[in-house]
Amino acid sequence: MDDDVLISKSFKLLGSEGRTALIPYVTAGYPNRDATVPLLERLKDVGADIIELGIPFSDPLADGPTIQRSSFTALENGTTVASILADLRTFRDGNDLPIVLFSYLNPILAYGLEAFLSDAVTAGADGILLTDLPTGADPELEAKISESPLALIRLIAPTTPFERVPRVTHGGSGFVYYISRTGVTGARVKLRESLAEELGQIRSVVSLPVAVGFGISTPEQAASVAGVADGVVIGSALIEALDKGGIDGGADFLHSIRIGMDRG
């Protein structure tokens, strides 16, 4: 329960420095199986504070075209939960950057929930975010995750009724992920103008740090979100940068986001 210690420490340290957490998302096994460990290392080097490592799923219904494509490619590459945990173990050797596994429920159920929780902890994961397990959907399963050393990262959407917001974080720890707009993942030209106000409302009832994701794709957007949130999640835009420029291109892009955020 208290082993989301790396995540909390990361937010505390950043908070004391007046900085915002940069949280990149990458699909494990993309663009190829050998890329994951070096990619994680490069993302750390250019200023990632926490990394979301995506477990690919055949039916990613919360994801837009970019992450769908990366998921299908990763699966074709033979990526499995076991291969991802092996990569994570390799990365962990000498790195203490917090890693949150990002997944749909079914690959975890197929692996076996208890075995997964235990193996993920052993491999060095710090948290788990499940896109299709909203709070209250399966209390027994949620309790097992909450009781494990992994932080259960909860999500809040703009459509979450306000009275539900305090309940959504039940059993959650580490941070809360605020989906900055309705829709699937993917780079957007414009973000919601009401973001600051929405975050204010969430903070009035939620004590965990709040990271914002969905649609953030430029240093300017990241800087503006960083002004109001505790963390900025970058997913699809990073995958697109990887497509264009490989690991170097991805790292350069994330670095530009880091600079944008720190400049404010």
Partner 1 sequence: MSTEIPAPMNQFGPYGGRYVPETLIGALDELSSAYDDAASDQSFSSEVDSLLRDFSGRPTALYHAERLGEAAGHPSVYLKREDLNHTGAHKINNTIGQALLAIRMGKRRIIAETGAGQHGVATATACALFDLECIVYMGEEDVERQALNVYRMKLLGAEVRAVGSGTRTLKDATNEAIRDWVTSVETTHYIIGSVVGPDPFPRMVRDFQAVIGRETREQILKITGRLPSAVFACVGGGSNAIGIFDSFLSDKEVRLIGVEAAGTGIETGQHAASLAVGKPGVLHGSFSYLLQDEDGQVSPAHSVSAGLDYPGVGPQHSYLKDIGRAEYTAVTDQDALDAFHRLAELEGIIPALESAHAIAYVLKVAAKYRNDGPVVVCLSGRGDKDVSHVAQIEGNEPLV
- Interface with partner 1 by CB under 8 A: which residues? 57-62, 64-65, 68, 72, 75, 80-81, 104-111, 131-140, 142, 155-161, 164, 166-171, 179, 182-184, 205-207
| Smallest distance from partner 1 to CB 244, Å | 21
H helix or E strand, kind and range, residue 178: strand 176-179
Q: Which two tokens stand for residue 146?
A: 């909450």
Which SS3 state, helix, strand or coil, does residue 109 take? Answer: helix
Q: For partner 1, which is the closer residue by CB, 206 or 254? A: 206
Q: For partner 1, which is the closer residue by CB, 13 or 137? A: 137
Contacts of 154 (CB under 8 A, 6+ apart): 135, 168, 169, 170, 171, 172, 176, 177
| Smallest distance from partner 1 to CB 19, Å | 27
Among 41, 45, 49, 52, which one carries the catalytic annotation? 52
Whole-number Å distance between alpha carbons of 97 and 100: 10
DSSP class of residue 221 equals: H
Among 63, 119, 126, 230, which one carries the catalytic annotation? 63
174: left (phi over 0), alpha (psi -120 to 50) or beta: left
| Smallest distance from partner 1 to CB 55, Å | 9
Q: For partner 1, which is the closer residue by CB, 125 or 261? A: 125
4 noted as active-site residue: no
63 noted as active-site residue: yes
